[in-house]
């Protein structure tokens, strides 16, 4: 039997920090991702996302998340890609950190985005997971610029600015 990593090598990627493990989300991880998101990602009615996916009805959330994960994998090319990494803390799925690029060979620029279970906000885990992908981008991918966005009202994501 052929290992999945021989077909999609990114499934072999694993980034570790002092408290976290980041690795690509597999189909087997989707139920844990949905449960983590369903537990709450932000205050009700105060979505920091440009697409309010966390406000979908419970019966649509899992379907929407699975489609997003599959779409990111299926549409990845060397020119344009989004890598979705699940975040594990004490062996529990707690969120997602993404890193992506458009025209990376020319621009050497990556962008990041993330979500984390609301019950774990304020512990520095978001900063730790974002630092992990930034280091990966600079040290392994050869990025020269990393960009990240946060809502203007989201002081925690802005680093307390």
DSSP letter string, 64-123:
HHHHHHHHHHHT--SSEEEEEEEEEETTEEEEEEEEEEESHHHH-EEEEEEEE-GGGTTS
Query: Is residue 104 domain-resident?
Result: yes
Query: Is residue 107 domain-resident?
Result: yes
Query: Is residue 137 domain-resident?
Result: yes
Rounded to the nearest 10°, the torsion over CA 48, 35, 76, 85 is 80
Domain that holds residue 38: 13-148
Half-sphere exposure of 139 (CA within 13 A, CB side): 7
Residue 160, pLDDT > 50, answer: no
The enclosing domain of 56 has a CATH number of: 3.40.630.30
* pTM to 2 decimal places: 0.85
pLDDT bucket at 63, cuts 50 / 70 / 90: confident
Residue 51, pLDDT > 70, answer: no
Query: Is residue 155 domain-resident?
Result: no
Query: Is residue 7 domain-resident?
Result: no
Count of structural domains within the chain: 1
Query: Is residue 1 domain-resident?
Result: no
- Give residue-wise pLDDT tens across range 66-90: 998 999 999 999 899 999 999 999 9
């Amino acid at each position: 039997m052929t290992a999945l990593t021989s077909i999609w090598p990114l499934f072999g990627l694993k980034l570790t920090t002092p408290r976290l493990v980041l690795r690509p989300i597999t189909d087997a991880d989707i139920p844990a991702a949905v449960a983590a998101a369903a537990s709450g990602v932000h205050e009700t009615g105060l979505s920091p996302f440009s697409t309010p996916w966390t406000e979908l009805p419970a019966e649509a959330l899992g379907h929407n998340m699975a489609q997003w994960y599959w779409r990111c994998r299926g549409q990845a090319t060397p020119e344009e890609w989004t890598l979705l990494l699940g975040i594990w803390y004490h062996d529990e799925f707690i969120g997602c950190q993404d890193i992506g690029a458009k025209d990376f060979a020319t621009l050497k620029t990556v962008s990041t985005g993330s979500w984390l279970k609301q019950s774990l906000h304020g512990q520095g885990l978001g900063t730790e997971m974002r630092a992990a992908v930034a280091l990966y981008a600079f040290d392994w991918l050869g990025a020269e610029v990393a960009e990240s966005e946060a809502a203007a009202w989201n002081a925690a994501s802005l680093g307390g600015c």
